[in-house]
């Protein structure tokens, strides 16, 4: 019997409405998912080289600086979509910002997703599109990735891990242990928006507010800051644990005291109201588009002006200074001249905010 040869069309658009365990099985269903959802979003044509790794030309990297920066972060935020962002945007911004605060130019990210079976494919497409859009805005490539599907209940909807590499510019050496007494502490804008937005988006509280997450890639803003304040001592993005966690780490690592002024903390009235109602302290609320920077006193003004000139730094403010008193301690001057110590939180009352 003569069996006719039928040309195989291995690459097909994904027609399933939901992700099943078959999409993680390593076969053609998985490749369809990767090609049609992720590669289509990340590389535009869904036809990236089917290799197991991304490859970089070292000489091209070294044009940006002389050290490689390397970081990773997992994202489990609940809900997946929230005012001002979604898990995809967060996953790109988080890793881009972790590279940028080290003085690195972010170059490329990897993206590993763990999907709970039953997740609508449309949800995955939206997340992938958001990742692609954010990566474009930040000027980084999503160069490699991995997909796993787990049984219902083995994870919650969708978890994403991004890993990033970047190149640290020559001559720049910022670090958490480099603050000195007299230095000035700045933030690039309103604090607490992300934590408040996520808590509110969960809908448990039945509060009506228009608070949006501040989730944003900060590498552009940080370029501006480095330019304006070449003596920059350190930068950190004030994510989980908020500004309070970062200043405490800074005080401990640099063996200095930090004095904050409550009246100088930039905060949205809605966030303050939200915290009032719930008894939260906005200093501990997470941010996803805010850095805390320490600069020498003589560069404080130019740093502030530069931050404020950037769209993501319009509400930038000097919030305190580094002191030689009580090393390792953060003290806040309350609005009527009292003082209190700002410590780190032990646990988080708000799990899964990023």
Partner 1 sequence: MRYVDEFRDPALAATLVKEIGAISARLERGRDRPFAIMEVCGGHTHAIFRYGLEGLLPDLVEFVHGPGCPVCVLPMGRVDDCVAIAEREEVIFATFGDAMRVPGSRKSLLQAKADGADVRMVYSPLDALTLAKRNPERQVVFFGLGFETTMPSTALTVLRAAREGVQNFSLFCNHITIIPTLRALLEQPDLGIDGFIGPGHVSMVIGTAPYRFIAEEFAKPLVVAGFEPIDLLQSLLMVLRQIETGTARIENQYARVVPEHGNPQALKAVEEVYEPRETFEWRGLGSIAGSGVRLKAPYGAFDAEKRFSVPDVKVADPSSCRCGEVLTGAAKPWACPEFGKGCTPETPLGALMVSSEGSCAAYYQYGGMRGEAA
Q: Give residues in contact with partner 1 (CB under 8 A).
A: 204-205, 269, 272-273, 276, 281, 329, 334-341, 343, 346-347, 349
| Residue (262 or 301) nearer to partner 1, CB | 262
Chain Cα centroid distance, residue 236: 11
- Min dist CB 95 to partner 1, Å, is 28
- Min dist CB 194 to partner 1, Å, is 19
- Min dist CB 262 to partner 1, Å, is 9
| Residue (191 or 222) nearer to partner 1, CB | 191
β-bridge pairing 104-116 and 141-150: parallel
Largest Cα–Cα distance in the chain? 95
- Min dist CB 266 to partner 1, Å, is 15
Give the closest residue to 259 by CA, choosing from 299, 294, 284, 232: 294
- Min dist CB 274 to partner 1, Å, is 11
12-41 burial: b if 16+ Cβ within 10 Å, else e: eebeeeebbebbbeeeebbbbbbbbbbbbb
> Which token pair is 224?
């501006």
- Cβ atoms of 218 and 97 within 8 Å: the answer is yes
β-bridge pairing 104-116 and 158-168: antiparallel
- Min dist CB 294 to partner 1, Å, is 22
| Residue (272 or 318) nearer to partner 1, CB | 272
| Residue (112 or 278) nearer to partner 1, CB | 278
β-bridge pairing 81-82 and 85-86: antiparallel
Cα dihedral 148, 149, 154, 160 sign = positive
| Residue (192 or 313) nearer to partner 1, CB | 192
Return d(Cα 295, Cα 182) in angstroms, integer: 9
| Residue (18 or 334) nearer to partner 1, CB | 334
């Amino acid at each position: 019997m003569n069996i006719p040869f039928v040309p195989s069309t291995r690459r097909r658009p994904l027609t399933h409405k939901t992700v099943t365990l078959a999409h993680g099985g390593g076969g053609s269903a998985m490749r369809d998912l990767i090609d049609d959802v992720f590669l289509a979003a990340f590389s535009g044509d869904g036809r990236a080289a089917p290799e197991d790794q991304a490859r970089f030309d070292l000489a091209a990297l070294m044009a940006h600086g002389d050290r490689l920066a390397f970081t990773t972060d997992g994202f489990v935020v609940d809900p997946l979509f929230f005012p001002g962002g979604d898990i995809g945007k967060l996953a790109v911004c988080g890793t881009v910002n972790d590279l940028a605060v080290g003085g690195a130019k972010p170059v490329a990210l990897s993206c590993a997703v763990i999907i709970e079976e039953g997740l609508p494919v449309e949800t995955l497409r939206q997340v992938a599109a958001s990742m692609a859009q954010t990566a474009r805005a930040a000027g980084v490539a999503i160069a490699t990735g991995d997909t796993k599907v787990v049984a219902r209940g083995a994870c919650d909807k969708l978890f994403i891990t991004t890993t990033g590499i970047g190149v640290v510019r020559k001559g720049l050496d910022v670090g958490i242990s480099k603050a000195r007494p007299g230095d000035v502490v700045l933030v690039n804008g309103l604090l607490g928006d992300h934590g408040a937005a996520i808590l509110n988006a969960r809908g448990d509280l039945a509060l009506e507010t228009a608070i949006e997450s501040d989730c944003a890639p900060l590498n552009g803003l940080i370029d501006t800051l480095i330019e304006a304040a070449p003596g920059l001592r350190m930068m950190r993005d004030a994510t989980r644990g908020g500004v309070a966690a970062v200043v405490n780490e800074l005080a401990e690592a640099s063996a200095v005291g930090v004095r904050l002024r409550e009246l100088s903390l930039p905060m949205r009235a809605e966030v303050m109201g939200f915290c009032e109602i719930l008894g939260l302290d906005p200093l501990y609320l997470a941010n996803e588009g805010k850095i805390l920077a320490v600069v020498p006193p003589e560069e404080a003004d130019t740093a502030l002006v530069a931050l404020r000139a950037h769209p993501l730094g319009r509400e930038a403010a000097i919030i305190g200074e580094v002191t030689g008193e009580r090393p390792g301690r953060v003290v806040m001057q309350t609005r009527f001249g009292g003082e209190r110590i700002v410590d780190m939180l032990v646990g988080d009352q708000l799990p899964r905010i990023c």
